[in-house]
Amino acid sequence: MQCFRVQAIPSQISRDTKIIKLAYNHIKEVKVQDLSGLTVLEEVVLSSAGVEVVENNAFRAHRRLRHLDLQKNKLRFVPRGLPTNLETLKVGNNLIHTLQESTLENLKKLRELDLQSNHITTLRANVLSGLVKLERLYLDGNRIETVQGSMRLAQLKLLSTGSNRITSFPSAFFTQLKSLSALRLAGNLLSRVPNDLPGSLKVLNLDRNHIRALRSREMAQLWNLTSLSAAHNRLVSVDGALRLPYLTSLDVPGNHLKVLPGRLAPRLERLDCKQNAIQEVSFHHVSGMRQLRHLFLENNTIKTFEANALRNNVQLTNLALEQNLLSSIPDGLPESLVRLDLKANHIAVIREGPMRTLRRLQVLNLRRNHLTTLPHTLPDFLPRLATLYLDGNPWNCTCELKRLSRLLAARGVEVPSEELCSEELVSVPSVGRDWRAYLTEGRCEEEEAEEVTESMRREKQDTDLTSDEDYYDYD
């Protein structure tokens, strides 16, 4: 059953109803008699319904009820007297200040508890100890400042406490969470990685905290970790011995790193170090990451990129170097590259040498550099090029550049720019005329014809000279 624009739970609901959906209504109160007699009810959705009060035991008689959704209402407490068979309870985005152990202790089959975006200030682990089957717990967006006790939830797989005010966790808080595979702590006030994190963890999110270092001694037990994110902290170092055997993704953008983290996990496939203060890239920084596929280094101050620094990274497909201080395309980039981003550097000339190895490159971004022209052989040594970004350069709009533009179009290369050249910086033979008029009035075709005529004249002259020479008898 589903109803809209009602101010109370409808009466005379069929007794064989299993699902009731009353979201987006104006139901201020839920009473015991509102749902009486609905013995086969399995799911009730009352989200965004304006609910302020749920009467004690309003759902207790519904022993088959497994899913209860009370999100985005005005509840000040978790309803009391909930049925023991409940598996999912969603009470996020309400006005709940505290959690009572007596309210939750009988929910022995609960698997998911959503309490995000309430007004909870203290997290007491013992309040949740009765939820022996709980697998997913969401506490994001509260006002939690204090965490107490040790969480003893043996089946818990996901714990999310992001966007709170947590400065630290008790030393034994995580030790009993033997099944925990995902821990989200983003948006708190942590100054270090919490102690005693369980070895079962596969995903750890520490974004937007105040952490200054990632140390192997704090994380050595995380043998199963595959994804680690510590974006927008205060990191100045990532321990070179952070060689977690199964780590495939490390995200540390928006920190204070001056050196690219080195000697990381050999299975690493993604390394994101954008928005730091990294000044150089050298072979010893990345040589051990032979499985690396995505390397993001944009918005740093990289001026030096050692030739062949990536020679061991033979799986690399995506290299992002936008907004750095590079004056040329690095030498010895791996042949595996599919996308290369060099936007907003100081590149003035494209040399053939660094490009000849990029036989698989499909996307090349050269926006906002100092380029005035491009080599006419560009399509030849980038045979798979599909998209070329060129806008924002001070092009010298000669006929040669126009011919290259036509050649790129003929080969199906997309150049996402309204104009290849800038009107401010042009170089054309006819003073006082803009480059577009010069190029569109057949001038390039005239120049090409003149070049052909001149070439023929030179050939004829050579022939005439040869004939004269044959005429004279030097013997």
Label residue 447 by pLDDT band (50, 70, 90).
low
Label residue 441 by pLDDT band (50, 70, 90).
very low
Give the contacts of 367 (CB within 8 A, at least 6 positions apart).
343, 344, 389, 390, 391, 392, 393
Task: Check pLDDT > 50 for residue 436.
Answer: no
pLDDT at 448: 55
* Mean pLDDT over each residue of the chain, to the nearest integer: 88
Label residue 374 by pLDDT band (50, 70, 90).
very high
Nearest to 326 by CA among 346, 341, 312, 309: 346
pLDDT at 184: 98
Q: What is the Cα–Cα distance from 268 to 287, expressed in whole angstroms? A: 12
Q: What is the Cα–Cα distance from 335 to 357, expressed in whole angstroms? A: 5
pLDDT at 452: 45
pTM greater than 0.85: yes
Phi-psi sector, 432: left (phi>0), alpha (psi -120 to 50), beta: left
Backbone angles phi, psi at 471, to 5 degrees: -65, -40
Copy the structure tokens of residue 330. 């690095």
Instruction: Give me the sign of the Cα torsion angle 27, 32, 38, 43.
Output: positive
Task: Check pLDDT > 90 for residue 228.
Answer: yes
Task: Check pLDDT > 50 for residue 434.
Answer: no
Region 430-458: what's the mean pLDDT? 50
Q: Which residue is listed with tokens 């070049």?
A: 451
Q: CB-based burial of residue 4 (10 Å sphere; 0-12 exposed, 13-18 middle, 19+ buried)?
A: exposed
Task: Check pLDDT > 60 for residue 473.
Answer: no
Q: Which residue is listed with tokens 């963890």?
A: 201
Among 34-38, 385-389, 468-472, the range with the most confident prediction by mean pLDDT is 385-389
Q: What is the Cα–Cα distance from 47 to 22, expressed in whole angstroms? A: 7
Label residue 308 by pLDDT band (50, 70, 90).
very high
Copy the structure tokens of residue 319. 């290299």
Model confidence over 86-100: pLDDT tens digits? 999 999 999 999 998
Model confidence over 380-419: pLDDT tens digits? 889 999 999 999 999 988 888 888 888 998 999 999 875 5
Model confidence over 312-325: pLDDT tens digits? 999 999 999 999 99
Model confidence over 350-373: pLDDT tens digits? 998 889 899 999 999 999 999 999
Q: What is the Cα–Cα distance from 443 to 448, expressed in whole angstroms? A: 9
Model confidence over 230-279: pLDDT tens digits? 999 999 999 876 889 999 999 999 999 999 998 888 899 999 999 999 99
pLDDT at 428: 41
pLDDT at 445: 62
